[in-house]
Amino acid sequence: MQVTTFGRYQLLDLIGRGTTGKVYRATVTTDDGTDHVVALKVLASELAEDPEFLKQFRREVSAAAGLNNPHVVPIHSHGEIDGQLYVDMKLIGGSNLGRLIRNEGGRLLPARAVAMIQQVAAALDSAHQAGLVHRDVKPSNILVPPGDFAYLTDFGMARGAEDTAVNSMGHVPGAYMAPERFSGAGDIRADVYSLTCVLHKCLTGQQPFPGESLGEQRAGHLTASPPRPSTSSPGIPPAFNAVIAAGMAKSPQARYQTTLQLAEAARAALDGRFIPPPPPPPPPPGTPATPRPQRDEPGPAEQPERREHTLAILGGLAVAMTAVFGLIALVIVAATTSDQGVSATPSATPTRTSTTASTTTATASAPVAPPAIPQLPSFVPSASVEANCQYLPTSDAADITVSPPEAGSASTDPAHIGMSIVTNRGKIGLQLANNESPCTVNSFVSLAKQKFFDDTQCHRLTTSPGLSVLQCGDPKGDGTGGPGYQFADEYPADQYPRGDPALKRPVRYPRGTVAMANAGPNTNGSQFFLVYRDSQLPPAYTVFGTIDAAGLATLDKIAAAGVLGGGDDGTPATQVTIRSVRPS
């Protein structure tokens, strides 16, 4: 191992790289002759030549070093060596929050996400009480060692928006930045906004607004409506929609005023309750009051989850176009509380070649077309089709005792298998694509033969323009149930190379599609969803059949009745009970 000397420090290895400098695992010998292993951040040399940054660095790092909060990374010392600024910190093992989310299948369960936010909120509140604003709250600045004890780091390192760039962790510039920060303003409520963005990332695995450039991010944060996480993943209680909307309000006065208020609201959302921000303070005499923006009210309450089987939608794709067309103000329909301006004409037949699309309305001098959403890829058989179906036990016991299918080869003959779901609202006929997703079809047929689905409720209806599905297959009826085993993804995920970025981009799941819900890659169980209107999802949800015309008519009636209590995501207003699933 090559060791480099930096003043009195021995730099052992590089453990991180960001927009302001590099972080090393280093050793230092103290005055009493004891060697200590530390994390040493060495800033880029040009920063020491920037008088404004140098003043900020000295003031804010000194203040952070004086904080006495267990969730703030302890700072041992800081200063300048040979023209380069440095910060000597406690070395924290584990990974940062961004890596943790990726390693956990792309998102965290809501209860775990809230626990992370509560800890970071406490760290930020300690800083705010000391007059210190972080201004760069993002997943890469939150360290999470084993045990999920979170630490916040990098106080005093924030720079102007134009100076940011994609760092070695792949974080997009401006992805977690409050609107006022793009003009150089911002107080502690900018940290509230950024922490809300981090909460959205934890819940969905997605940054709040799409786009890889600073311009696209600026457009999203300045003009687009806040995202609605429950429409991305049915495992997320709808109350989080209102929490995200409040925490990411464009006006700082309309947000939660402290990070602890945000954390309290996030905790309440786990139980389906919404705690709104406090009323804004009265304006100074002679100043007209700013009207408080309308905010989504939460949908019906959901049970706290043990393990959610979910869908994910990448909504608001039109935001990226605003940067290209001079920040034209778009109405991003999928992220607002209104369905006005949206048309979605269902296709007549349940085919994968449907070209029906929801439309987005531009409120500008000239219409701007949203980017086209590609169709599902054409199926091309691979060598692995039918070769090795594995049904692995899960840590959660089956809610109804069943035997998993026999592992090994699953025949693709016949190519299609007819099944009929008999509900109290009518029959839903299916043609299962045994030639494309044989392991999935094998499991579905096996569960049907064992009467696993009989007398269960279809627990989730989503009616938003970008995601229009009925979700079924959970004996518990709350999104957490399963058969006690799980199996790997098939079509369309198997049509992409492993690690292909396209696996995270939405495609069109056409009206009439039957697909598996999941809790992350290769976690298919018993829950499935029925698409009654073209929907936008990343190709990570196994498609295993189509719905006949009579079945679509049944689904249309269920969807027309809406969601219990209003909204566009929650328990169907019309109870849907599966009486049986049998061969047709």
Could you report the per-residue pLDDT of 392-418, keeping only the tens digit for each?
998 777 778 999 999 998 889 999 999
- Check which CATH number belongs to the domain holding 100 and give it: 1.10.510.10
* 433 in any annotated domain: yes
Q: Report how far residue 362's alpha carbon sits from residue 328's, in angstroms, rounded to the nearest whole number.
A: 8
Residue range 43-67: average pLDDT? 86
Q: Specify the higher pLDDT residue, 27 or 299.
A: 27
* 219 in any annotated domain: yes
Kindly state the tokens that stand for 179: 């609107």
Residue 289 predicted with pLDDT over 50: no
Residue 19 predicted with pLDDT over 80: no
Say what the pLDDT of residue 235 is.
Answer: 85
Q: Per residue, what are the HEC states of 395-428?
A: CCCCCCCCCCCCCECCCCCCCEEEEEEEECCEEE
Active site residues: 136
Are 109 and 72 part of one and the same domain?
Answer: no
Residue range 270-295: average pLDDT? 61
Residue 304 predicted with pLDDT over 60: no
Cα atoms in the 13 Å half-sphere on the side-chain side of 220: 29
Residue 163 predicted with pLDDT over 50: no
Residue 442 predicted with pLDDT over 60: yes
Say what the pLDDT of residue 343 is.
Answer: 30
| E strands in 317-403 | 392-393
Are 175 and 276 part of one and the same domain?
Answer: yes
Taken in order 153, 157, 160, 163, the sign of the CA dihedral is: negative
pLDDT digits (tens, 9 = 90+) for 103-155: 988 999 999 999 999 999 999 999 999 889 998 999 999 999 988 999 999 88
Residue 47 near residue 54, CB atoms below 8 Å: yes
Say what the pLDDT of residue 439 is.
Answer: 95
Are 405 and 441 part of one and the same domain?
Answer: yes
Mean pLDDT is lowest, of 51-60, 331-340, 430-439, 493-502, for 331-340
Residue 427 predicted with pLDDT over 50: yes
Q: Is the peptide bond before 538 cis (omega within 30 degrees of 0)?
A: no
Q: Report how far residue 305's alpha carbon sits from residue 87's, in angstroms, rounded to the nearest whole number.
A: 41
Domain final residue, candidates 245, 270, 305: 305
Are 425 and 530 part of one and the same domain?
Answer: yes
Q: Specify the higher pLDDT residue, 297 or 553.
A: 553
* 326 in any annotated domain: no
Q: Using a pLDDT cut of 90, give the percent of the chain over it.
A: 54
Residue 218's pLDDT band (cuts 50, 70, 90): confident
Are 68 and 182 part of one and the same domain?
Answer: no
* 288 in any annotated domain: no
Say what the pLDDT of residue 4 is.
Answer: 87
Residue range 468-497: average pLDDT? 91
Are 124 and 257 part of one and the same domain?
Answer: yes
Are 241 and 145 part of one and the same domain?
Answer: yes
Say what the pLDDT of residue 3 is.
Answer: 60
Domain final residue, candidates 89, 105, 137: 89
Residue 538 predicted with pLDDT over 80: yes
Number of domains in the chain: 3
Q: Specify the higher pLDDT residue, 164 or 114.
A: 114
Q: Specify the higher pLDDT residue, 189 or 360.
A: 189
Residue 23, classed as helix, strand or coil, is strand
Mean pLDDT of the chain: 81
Residue range 460-465: average pLDDT? 89
Kindly state the tokens that stand for 31: 């005055």
Residue 259 predicted with pLDDT over 90: yes
Are 17 and 127 part of one and the same domain?
Answer: no
Q: Per residue, what are the HEC states of 188-228?
A: HHHHHHHHHHHHHHHHHCCCCCCCCCHHHHHHHHHHCCCCC
Are 436 and 509 part of one and the same domain?
Answer: yes
Provide the angle, in degrees to the nearest 10, between the axes of the packed helices 259-269 and 188-204: 30
Say what the pLDDT of residue 368 is.
Answer: 42
The CA distances from residue 373 to 324, 355, 493, 514, in Å, are 18, 10, 17, 19
What is the DSSP code string of 525-583? Answer: -S-EEEEEE-EEE-TTS-EEEEE-HHHHHHHHHHHHH-BTTSSSEESBSS--EEEEEEE
End-to-end Cα spacing for the chain = 67
Q: Specify the higher pLDDT residue, 498 or 274.
A: 274
Residue 24, classed as helix, strand or coil, is strand
Say what the pLDDT of residue 301 is.
Answer: 33
Residue 164 predicted with pLDDT over 60: no
Q: Which phi and psi (to 5°) does residue 502 adopt?
A: -65, -20
- Check which CATH number belongs to the domain holding 410 and give it: 2.40.100.10
How would you classify residue 15: left for phi > 0, otherwise alpha for psi between -120 and 50, otherwise beta?
alpha
Residue range 158-162: average pLDDT? 45
β-pairing, 426-433 vs 416-423, is antiparallel
Q: Which letter does DSSP use for residue 437 in this model?
A: -
Burial (CB count within 10 angstroms: exposed 0-12, middle 13-18, buried 19+), residue 336 = buried
Q: Which residues span the domain enclosing 247?
A: 95-159+171-281+293-305
Q: What is the CA radius of gyration of the chain?
A: 26
Contacts (Cβ under 8 Å, ≥6 apart) of 579 = 422, 423, 424, 454, 455
* 343 in any annotated domain: no
pLDDT digits (tens, 9 = 90+) for 484-501: 999 999 999 999 998 888
* 337 in any annotated domain: no
Residue 133 near residue 127, CB atoms below 8 Å: yes
Mean pLDDT is lowest, of 125-134, 140-149, 304-313, 369-378, for 304-313
* 408 in any annotated domain: yes
Q: Specify the higher pLDDT residue, 426 or 308.
A: 426
Q: Is the peptide bond before 414 cis (omega within 30 degrees of 0)?
A: yes
* 551 in any annotated domain: yes
Residue range 418-441: average pLDDT? 96
Are 50 and 127 part of one and the same domain?
Answer: no
Q: Which residues pair with 87 in a beta bridge?
A: 41, 78
Are 113 and 67 part of one and the same domain?
Answer: no
Residue 293's pLDDT band (cuts 50, 70, 90): very low
Cα atoms in the 13 Å half-sphere on the side-chain side of 333: 18
Residue 296 predicted with pLDDT over 60: no
Residue 351 predicted with pLDDT over 70: no
Residue 302's pLDDT band (cuts 50, 70, 90): very low
Residue 51's pLDDT band (cuts 50, 70, 90): confident
Residue 318 predicted with pLDDT over 80: no
